[in-house]
Chain A
């Protein structure tokens, strides 16, 4: 089956494929160090100005900006980052607890309508985010709820619970049910079994699910876009706004930092997954 030329062609195609995936990211990283503020295509020399500028430490400004304008947008960016982190932490905690409980319930108990429940839990993941976003917007406004951090957190939890559920359930499916029986057999109550056997055994799945929830929450743009209050911009919404107003070298610097952060998180995720517990 493996004819050598076929394999070479396949390899060449695949390497091009990976170039296609990664080249754009390297373009951003490259640009973020280009000193030319007007045309990023022309290399004018290496600079850290766009990074220092992000934090209001550089006098260089692009376009019509001046130092004061930059400090203002720096504050906004840091506020957006803070909002994103706050939302992601709360969302991760809530959706991990609910998703894990649900996964345990559906894996360990047989009851009527269990299949339908499984299907129902897929729906928030399958629903296009714009539909969920405007649904929540109308819902909150009709109820007279002020759009705020709270509404963003609720919005994220609606679909992230399902993600955590799926991942923990996969881990649950790989667990020998006899483990819990062994624990009960040796005298442990349900609660003790949950604490001493089930949760430690599920830990990699739970952490994986939490990590995924955190990453998606940090990255969510569409739903947040519809249900964030005026003062509660998250980082993706902030960047989206900046891009809509035009390309600026500072965006390259932010984008590079985000890419760096995501590589670290992905590596962490990989490490978590490779840690076999048994």
Chain B
């Protein structure tokens, strides 16, 4: 089945005030399937917002194409694209009621008032704002405004909904609640969402697929699990979640296991997989991959912080080198100054080859 959205070789440069050029999109290719929840993730300035705005039509591409359901959108102005956006600032029209905000797309499309009223009521119901239509946006709370923005963007039944950091203005609890609601809504509506965020936790929670971007290019596309467990490079590894990176040289092979060391002498075990002694590579271990054991990397706890049910430790390896981040479930008796050994399962190590 052909994907819903196909972006090919999208390129966009911005002129800087100093007369230089910034490449916001550097030949981006992306496919999004119908009913897929795709997140664009990356630090600010990585091009994720530019990509979103290129899809909605607020930025024109210098080159490349954008197709939606087989139709070419590349040269169409925003108001001719069957794509709607939830804006970061919500961009609710303050001079009209909530109902007219939500019905705006129908109003400008010339839908009759009676028909409009029915659809507005239905849509408000969908986002949990039934009966709020007569209010002004200024009379609503932040979370309610968010829902109005959402209702306004889905009423015309776009095939693709774009969301530009829509949750960034909400406080933590409300944000988590909205994450779940958005995901449910997407399932019920059966349309594709493209969601922009710089919050990796949000991306991991909600997405079917995550697109990690940097400097106008896509670094990796994959499921949250993929991206987390098998980052393709250092940037992705460090951007998604807390990470321990070890630049190591393979020392010797022992059966299925390869034993590697950092320059300081910290020992990391990896699957042998036909490795040879002297090979240099980067080993990636997530904090939760470590356990406290009788043997392993010896070190001293320099910091211990409880985060919810987990105990987060910084451990200074005896051999030297940067502290290792560790998250463990049961940290009874462990505190700052505790000396311990960190063990890990070689199979949990993810290896970046070109170290």
Contact = CB atoms under 8 A, between A and B. Distances in A.
Interface of A: 176, 178-179, 181-189, 192, 196-197, 200-201, 203, 276-278
A201 B94 contact: yes
B144 to A, nearest CB: 15
Interface string B85-116: 10111011111100000001101110000000
Contact of A181 (B58, B80, B156): B58
B137 A182 contact: no
Interface string B63-89: 000000000000001111001110111
List 4 tightest A-B contacts by C-beta distance, closest first: A278-B94, A178-B91, A186-B105, A182-B91
B159 to A, nearest CB: 14
B261 to A, nearest CB: 53
B78 A185 contact: yes
Contact of A183 (B77, B83, B104): B104
Contact of A184 (B78, B95, B137): B78
B77 A176 contact: no
A182 B93 CA distance: 9
B108 A192 contact: yes
A192 B87 CA distance: 20
B95 A186 contact: no
A185 B77 CA distance: 9
Contact of B156 (A176, A178, A184, A186): A186
B176 interface: no
B84 A186 contact: yes
Interface residues of B, number: 29
A185 B94 contact: no
Nearest to A193: B79
B214 interface: no
Nearest to B152: A186
Given A182-B85, A183-B104, A278-B138, A189 B91 contact: no
Contact of B108 (A181, A186, A278): A186
A178 B166 CA distance: 13
A200 B84 contact: no
A170 to B, nearest CB: 17
A274 B109 CA distance: 34
B99 to A, nearest CB: 14
A196 B108 contact: yes
A176 B108 contact: no
Contact of A179 (B78, B83, B93): B93
Contacts of B88: 178
B217 to A, nearest CB: 25
A241 B88 CA distance: 60
A278 B95 contact: yes
Contact of A278 (B77, B79, B87, B137): B137
Contacts of A188: 79, 104, 108
A178 B89 contact: yes
15 contacts: A178-B91, A181-B58, A182-B92, A182-B93, A184-B57, A185-B57, A185-B84, A185-B153, A186-B153, A186-B156, A187-B79, A189-B108, A200-B93, A201-B93, A277-B95
A176 B145 CA distance: 15
Nearest to A178: B91
A278 B108 CA distance: 21
B81 to A, nearest CB: 8
A149 B25 CA distance: 58
A64 to B, nearest CB: 60
Contacts of A178: 87-89, 91
Contacts of B105: 186-187
B108 A200 contact: no
B207 interface: no
A224 B85 CA distance: 52
A213 to B, nearest CB: 23
B56 interface: yes
Contacts of A186: 79, 84, 104-105, 108, 152-153, 156
Given A182-B87, A184-B57, 8 more contacts: A178-B91, A179-B91, A183-B93, A186-B104, A188-B108, A197-B93, A276-B138, A278-B95
Contact of B79 (A189, A197, A200, A277): A189
A188 B78 CA distance: 9
Nearest to B87: A178
A278 B90 CA distance: 13
Contacts of A203: 95
Contacts of A192: 108
A277 B138 CA distance: 9
A185 B85 contact: yes
A250 to B, nearest CB: 47
